[in-house]
Amino acid sequence: MRRDIFQAIADPTRRAIIALIALQAMTPNAIAENFQTTRQAVSKHLRILTECQLVKQEQQGREIFYSLEIDKMKEIDDWLAQYRNIWETRFNQLDQLLSNLKK
């Protein structure tokens, strides 16, 4: 089953995992140490993030390291950009209105 990237980032634990591995690649055990949950629960979150291609796995010896897939994060940013433009336009209009009211 192919998951949507927005389903992946909807979960706060997965967003926290993304924030952790954005700084450096980590093993599942190192990631799990940052949460009060089981290693299996973290593995499930990592599997979902991997299915959505938000993280990638790299085998180094006997360890698997997870790192952030920056290009896929850009896809999220591109989608949000359209709304960011709308918000900025509305805030600018509000600023102009408040400025006119002060005069």
> pLDDT-based confidence at 10, cuts 50/70/90?
very high
Provide the number of structural domains found in the chain.
Answer: 1
Q: Average the pLDDT over 66-82 and give the result.
A: 91
> pLDDT-based confidence at 85, cuts 50/70/90?
confident
- Spatial distance between the Cα atoms of 26 and 68, rounded to a whole number of angstroms: 10
- Spatial distance between the Cα atoms of 102 and 90, rounded to a whole number of angstroms: 18
pLDDT tens digits, one per residue of 17-47: 999 999 999 999 999 999 999 999 999 999 9
> pLDDT-based confidence at 2, cuts 50/70/90?
low
Residue 81: give its domain's CATH number.
1.10.10.10
Q: What domain range includes position 79?
A: 5-102
DSSP string, 49-77: HHHTTSEEEEEETTEEEEEE-HHHHHHHH
Contacts (Cβ under 8 Å, ≥6 apart) of 75 = 5
Q: What is the model's pTM? A: 0.78
